[in-house]
C-alpha cells in the first residue's frame, strides 16, 4: 500500500512541474531545511502525489517515479535548475513524478468543495473530513504533507467527480486553471545524483532533527529501526507524518507512523535524557486522544519515547554532574540515584497512561539509541519498564 503526499505550489511553478514532471520543496534561499528534508525523505517510490495550487485548489493524480539515484536529490539554492522559470522559488529537495495509474484529471477542486462543502462530506460525518490537511493549514509552514489512505480516497472521489480524465502523456501543462497534455518535449537536464543529505552523514545524530530525518528516511528500509518499529508485530509502515500538527494550536507529534495493520505509532524523540514527567504524560495522552478523535479504524495506538543512551558515570574525577557515578562505581554495577529516579518517573508515566484507560492505547515503550564518539548511530535498545 502506498502513501499519499500533497505538495503546495503556485500557478507558475505548477506549470513547470508538469512540463518537466518533477516536484520539490525547500525554503527560499536556504541551503538546507531540516523540516522540509524530513518531510521529503518520507517519500517512497510509487507514492501518490496531489498538488495544491494556491488560488485554485487540489489537482491529481501523479505518482513518485524512480528515475534518479537517489530517489530524492539535492539542488543548491544558488544553482537551481529551472530557477528563473520557477520564479526564483527555491526547491532544494526534488524528485520525479509520472502519471498515476488512476489517471490525471483536467480540473482541480477548490478548498471549499474538498474540505468544507457539506454536500461533499461523506455521510455528513466529521470522521470523513480531510483532517491532515486542515491541521496542516493551521500550522501553515509546510510545503509537503502526508495524508492517510482513507483521506486520499475521500479526496480522490471528490476530484474525479464530473471531471475529465486526460490521455496519458509524458508531460502536461497548466493553463487557465486546467491541466492538458503538453505536446512539446521538456527534458530535465539538471543534476540528479546529489544526495539530499550532502551537509551531513545520514547516520550522524547530533540534534533531535537528525533523529527525525533518520526515522523518516529509514522507516521500513533499515533494519536498525526494527527494534523500535517492530514490523513483525505492528506491521509495515505505510504512512509517515513528520511533526504532525495535532490540535488547534502549536502542538505537534514528532513522528506519527501508521502501519498496514492499522496500528499507529506515536513517537516522541529526545536528543538528551531529560524530561518532565507531567509534561510527557500530558503530551502522550493528548496525542492519543487526538488520533482517536477521528481515526476510528485504528486497532491500536503505541506511544514510544526515544532517548539517547544516558551516560551513567563521569568522564573525569571531580565532575560536577551530580547524576553521574564514578567509573569504579559503574563497573561494580551500582546504579546512579539520578538514573534510578528517572526510571521511576518513566514507570510512573506508563502507569499514568494506563490509569487514563484511553481506548486502544497500549503500554508505553521506551528506547535508547547509542552513538559512538563521532556521533555515529550504533543501534537501539528497549528499556524494560516492567517493575
Per domain, the residue ranges of the chain are 4-181, 208-382
Pick from 354, 387, 368: nearest CA to 304: 368
Q: What is the pLDDT of residue 198?
A: 79
pTM of the model: 0.89
Q: What is the pLDDT of residue 338?
A: 75
Q: What is the pLDDT of residue 325?
A: 58
Q: What is the pLDDT of residue 118?
A: 86
Grouping H, G, I as helix, E, B as strand and the rest as coil, residue 253 is strand
Asked if the peptide bond before residue 61 counts as cis, ω within 30 degrees of 0, the response is: yes
CA distance linking residue 198 with residue 189, whole number of Å = 20
Q: What is the pLDDT of residue 137?
A: 65
Q: What is the pLDDT of residue 145?
A: 87
Class of domain 208-382: alpha beta
E strand residue ranges, the chain: 4-9, 22-25, 48-53, 57-65, 73-74, 93-99, 144-147, 172-175, 178-181, 237-245, 252-259, 263-269, 300-308, 365-371, 377-382
Pick from 280, 271, 153: nearest CA to 215: 271
Question: What are the residue ranges in the chain where pLDDT is below 50?
Answer: 248-249, 319-322
Angle between helices 131-139 and 149-160 (to 10 degrees): 100
Range 4-181 classified under CATH 3.10.590.10: yes
Pick from 70, 55, 59: nearest CA to 7: 59
CA distance linking residue 60 with residue 106, whole number of Å = 8
Q: What is the pLDDT of residue 274?
A: 86
CA distance linking residue 307 with residue 383, whole number of Å = 10
Amino acid at each position: 500500500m502506498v502513501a499519499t503526499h500533497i505538495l503546495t505550489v503556485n500557478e507558475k511553478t505548477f506549470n513547470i512541474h508538469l512540463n518537466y514532471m518533477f516536484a520539490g520543496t525547500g525554503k527560499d534561499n536556504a541551503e538546507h531545511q531540516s523540516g522540509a528534508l524530513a518531510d521529503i525523505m518520507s517519500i517512497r517510490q510509487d507514492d501518490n502525489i496531489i498538488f495544491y495550487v494556491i488560488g485554485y485548489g487540489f489537482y491529481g493524480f501523479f505518482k513518485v517515479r524512480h528515475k534518479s539515484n537517489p530517489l530524492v536529490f539535492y539542488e543548491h539554492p544558488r544553482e537551481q535548475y529551472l530557477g528563473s522559470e520557477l520564479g526564483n522559488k527555491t526547491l532544494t529537495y526534488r524528485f520525479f513524478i509520472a502519471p498515476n495509474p488512476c489517471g490525471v484529471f483536467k480540473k482541480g477542486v477548490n478548498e471549499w468543495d474538498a474540505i468544507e462543502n457539506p454536500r461533499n462530506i461523506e455521510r455528513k460525518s466529521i470522521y470523513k473530513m480531510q483532517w491532515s490537511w486542515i491541521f496542516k493549514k493551521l500550522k501553515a509552514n509546510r510545503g509537503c504533507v502526508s495524508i492517510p489512505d482513507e483521506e486520499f480516497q475521500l479526496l480522490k472521489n471528490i476530484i474525479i467527480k464530473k471531471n475529465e480524465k486526460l490521455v496519458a502523456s509524458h508531460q502536461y501543462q497548466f493553463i487557465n486553471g486546467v491541466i492538458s497534455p503538453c505536446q512539446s518535449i521538456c527534458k530535465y537536464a539538471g543534476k540528479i545524483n546529489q544526495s539530499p543529505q550532502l551537509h551531513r552523514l545520514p547516520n550522524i545524530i547530533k540534534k533531535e532533527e537528525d533523529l527525525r530525518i533518520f526515522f523518516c528516511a529509514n522507516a521500513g528500509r533499515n533494519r536498525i529501526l526494527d527494534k523500535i518499529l517492530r514490523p513483525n508485530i505492528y506491521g509495515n509502515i505505510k504512512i509517515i507524518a513528520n511533526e504532525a500538527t495535532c490540535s488547534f494550536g502549536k502542538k505537534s507529534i514528532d513522528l506519527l507512523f501508521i502501519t498496514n495493520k492499522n496500528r499507529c505509532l506515536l513517537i516522541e524523540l529526545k536528543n538528551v535524557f531529560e524530561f518532565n514527567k507531567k509534561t510527557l504524560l500530558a503530551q502522550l495522552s493528548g496525542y492519543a486522544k487526538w488520533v482517536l478523535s477521528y481515526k476510528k479504524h485504528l486497532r491500536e495506538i503505541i506511544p514510544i519515547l526515544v532517548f539517547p543512551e544516558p551516560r551513567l558515570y563521569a568522564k573525569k574525577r571531580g565532575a560536577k554532574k551530580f547524576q553521574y557515578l564514578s567509573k569504579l562505581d559503574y563497573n561494580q554495577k551500582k546504579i546512579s540515584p539520578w538514573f534510578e529516579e528517572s526510571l521511576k518517573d518513566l514507570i510512573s508515566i506508563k502507569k499514568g497512561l494506563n490509569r487514563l484507560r484511553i481506548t486502544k492505547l497500549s503500554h508505553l515503550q521506551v528506547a535508547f539509541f547509542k552513538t559512538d564518539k563521532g556521533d555515529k548511530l550504533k543501534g537501539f535498545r528497549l528499556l524494560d519498564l516492567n517493575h
